[in-house]
Chains A and B, each alone.
Chain A
Amino acid sequence: MAEKKIIATTSLAGCFGCHMSLLDIDERMLDLIEVVEFNKSPINDIKKFTRKCDIGLIEGGCCNSENVHVLKLFRESCKILVAVGECAIMGGLPAMRNGIPLKECIDEAYLNGITVHANVNKTVPNDPELPVLLDKVYPCSAVVKIDYSIPGCPPHADLLWATLYALVTGKETEIPYEVFKYD
């Protein structure tokens, strides 16, 4: 039997929807673990890379400094990096703030928003432990080299399956029209 491919996954500025969609491949998961092994990933809760991986799946774009660090770490640790879902590819929903100055976003969230009631001291979170927000939400390709992209919000489970299958086996696959979507 051929050696198993090692896969790592992460969610940056995403909603974990793409990971959920990966779980939606249902019983094919059993076929998948025959040929792959998961390394750092929220799926198995491995927090740190323990070895060089073959495939890194990235959900979400970069909205803060930590996202950038994690993404760069993935680039160093994975031979192939795949942007999964609209947020990783083009920023997605979080990037809708890109047209608004960051200060305005923060003020709206913590100071002026109509749902802000409890912040009596009018403070904005600024603990040094917190990642710093970026001026914009960046798609992954704006930070590191991305080898492949799987679109969708989230990508259809069949599309994820077909792409993973192709990446793992090295065989070209036909993508049915109905599963190739951006929403």
Chain B
Amino acid sequence: MKASIENILRKYQHDSTRLMDILLDIQDELGYIPEAYVPHIAELLGLSDADVEQTLSFYHFFSTRPTGKYRIYLNNSVVAYMMGRSEVAAAFEEALGIKFGQVTPDGRVGLFETSCIGMNDQEPAAIINNVIFPCLTPFRVREIVRDIKENKPVEEMINYQYGEGQNASEMVRSMVSNNIRKVGPVLDPHYKVGEALKKVISMSPEEVIEEIKKSNIRGRGGAGFPTGLKWEFCRKAHGEKKYIFCNADEGEPGTFKDRVILTELPRLLLEGMIIAGYAVGATEGILYVRYEYRYLKKYLEEILENARKKNYLGKSILGKEGFDFDIRIQFGAGAYVCGEESALIESAEGKRGEPRDRPPFPVEKGYLGMPTVVNNVETFCSVVKIILNGGEWYKSFGTEQSTGTKLLSISGDCRYPGVYEVAWGFSVNDILDMVGASKNQVQAVQVGGPSGSLIEPDEFNRILGYEDLSTGGSLIIFGHHRDLIREVVLNFTNFFIDESCGSCSTCRIVPVLLRNKIEKILNARGVEKDLDEMLEWAKLLKASRCGLGQTAGNPVVTSIKNFRHLYERMIQKNKEYDAGFDLQAAIRDGAEATGRIPIV
């Protein structure tokens, strides 16, 4: 085993900043990372054991104990539950004879929960050894478990049809569907790969940035920082080396559009990164992809290899003297917070995904301390089209302040979940009509994922755009039959608890307090004052360092604001105070330990 570790470490030149890749490779080979290996890895990288452990223990998909030959991760997002996750989960437990978090006694199968895996339009879904199993049913679960018992390789368990498009290609072979429902200028597959790049090298980097600025495009990840300005800052920053990062960590529950781009338009994405490299003066690009999309690894690597062969990557790209740029893929290992740009950079440096304090911003001091641009997948794709057609053309889509188009990931209670490319400026009502969700059947829409807002029908005339409802593109639709507090708000709050990096006091503690309050209300012990306290406590989150922490109270805050009546239905009307204390439950252990009847 030592030999294989040494091989892996040699592959990464004993570079401690590549610790993520090293751990991922070991995990791929063995299914887990034995604790006994830690001192060995540490020694060869010049780190302390604790250094290795702190990265290793941060990420959800790393494990230091054997988790089975078959590792089943069943998604526990809101939409998974809405689509029948409970029955699927019960079927797994029954067929395997274990509970979630356990490994079968023979050590062959492990069953685990995981946060949204970017398959909201085909839930319930699970990842088994990096293979995605969408649209699960109890019947399908029993088939899978039977195959597992027969020791079938996971790749051969795909006896349902492959998804459309590249999902069915040789290098992917996945059952995942794209569900592209509406194509706009970004998703339009009829473009010529490399054409924009050819155009770019005839321009000066400043001209490229000028064109991007002219388009007024803002970052598509959700924060909406003007892309041209970001590039300009980075171009002007001093540094021996500069980097371009593509954020494909897509972790916001309900978002899956980047997965579709990675599957269908990876060349478009790479072209955008290369253009950014040219504009900024960067020599290296890093495509940071969430672990959940590891089934695309071979495919993406081959596309990179082909791009190198065609000299889209490498030295003197397309003959342009001095234009050197290459891209590597960095996989994550399960951490929502790594979608935050500075946490993403930390992670790519082999560390815990803890956001950095700003200033300095990544454009000044980013990856390895060098100026770095971090943009979303969709931003890079849009850039290519802007170069091809001009900033003015791009501005013809959308609104004054929100130019261009936006890819929406739509899921939940609607007839046509999937990816839609629309110009900014549509109302929520328009969107509902588009996806086949009739307005009178919709109770609420979650705009922008858990960190966004839960809005009510009176707000459905609001407009998607930076000037009104800003969104990274996730829309989840809830029908009237959904219990918004129990199914949605509680689930989202638990999500934030699980995904907090734990660095800031506020984000580490407040969501736990909020969750306890929600549970108290659900247990019919709530009083009016609890609602006001929740709003008050959630305010503290605004003092957190990063966007995750600052928005972790949003499910509670926006649901109380827009659906206060749902809470009030559950709270005790004639009571001013209730500590929520349950004497009967509190004496149970004591009575049992002393052999008494638990009655007081």
Q: Which residues of A contact B (CB under 8 A)?
A: 64-65, 68-69, 101-103, 106-107, 124-126, 128, 131-136, 138, 141-145
* Nearest Cβ on chain B to A167's Cβ, whole angstroms: 19
Chain A residues lying within 8 Å of B592, measured Cβ to Cβ, are 103
Interface of chain A: mostly helix, strand, loop or mixed: mixed
For chain B, the count of residues having a C-beta within 8 Å of the partner chain is 19
In the complex, the chain A residue whose C-beta lies closest to that of B596 is A126
B579 adjacent to A132 (CB under 8 Å):
no
CA distance A133 to B592 in the complex (A): 10
B600 adjacent to A124 (CB under 8 Å):
no
A135 adjacent to B586 (CB under 8 Å):
yes
In the complex, the chain B residue whose C-beta lies closest to that of A145 is B577
Closest 6 CB pairs of A and B: A133-B590, A145-B577, A135-B589, A126-B594, A132-B587, A103-B593
The digit string for B564-600, where 1 denotes a CB below 8 A from any CB of A, is 0000000000001101010101111111111110101
Chain A residues lying within 8 Å of B593, measured Cβ to Cβ, are 102-103, 106-107, 124, 133
Chain B residues lying within 8 Å of A138, measured Cβ to Cβ, are 581, 586
Question: A142 with B579: in contact, given A65-B600, A132-B596, A136-B586 (CB under 8 Å)?
Answer: yes
Chain A residues lying within 8 Å of B583, measured Cβ to Cβ, are 65, 68
7 pairs across A/B with beta carbons < 8 Å?
A: A68-B586, A124-B594, A132-B594, A132-B600, A136-B586, A142-B579, A144-B577
- For residues 357 through 377 of chain B, which have their beta carbon under 8 Å from a beta carbon of chain A? none
Chain B residues lying within 8 Å of A107, measured Cβ to Cβ, are 593
CA distance A144 to B589 in the complex (A): 22
In the complex, the chain A residue whose C-beta lies closest to that of B590 is A133
Chain A residues lying within 8 Å of B576, measured Cβ to Cβ, are 145
* Nearest Cβ on chain B to A93's Cβ, whole angstroms: 19
Q: Which residues of B contact A (CB under 8 A)?
A: 576-577, 579, 581, 583, 585-596, 598, 600
B581 adjacent to A125 (CB under 8 Å):
no
Question: A143 with B581: in contact, given A132-B590, A132-B600 (CB under 8 Å)?
Answer: yes
A102 adjacent to B581 (CB under 8 Å):
no
In the complex, the chain A residue whose C-beta lies closest to that of B600 is A65
B579 adjacent to A144 (CB under 8 Å):
yes
CA distance A69 to B581 in the complex (A): 12
Question: A64 with B590: in contact, given A124-B595, A126-B596, A132-B598 (CB under 8 Å)?
Answer: yes
CA distance A64 to B579 in the complex (A): 17
A135 adjacent to B590 (CB under 8 Å):
yes
* Nearest Cβ on chain B to A80's Cβ, whole angstroms: 14
In the complex, the chain A residue whose C-beta lies closest to that of B585 is A135
When the two chains form the complex, which single residue of A65, A125, A126 contacts B587, counting CB atoms closer than 8 Å? A65
A134 adjacent to B579 (CB under 8 Å):
no
* Nearest Cβ on chain A to B58's Cβ, whole angstroms: 25
Given A102-B589, A126-B595, A126-B596, list of 6 further CB < 8 A pairs? A68-B581, A102-B593, A103-B592, A106-B593, A133-B593, A138-B581
* Nearest Cβ on chain B to A23's Cβ, whole angstroms: 30
CA distance A141 to B587 in the complex (A): 18
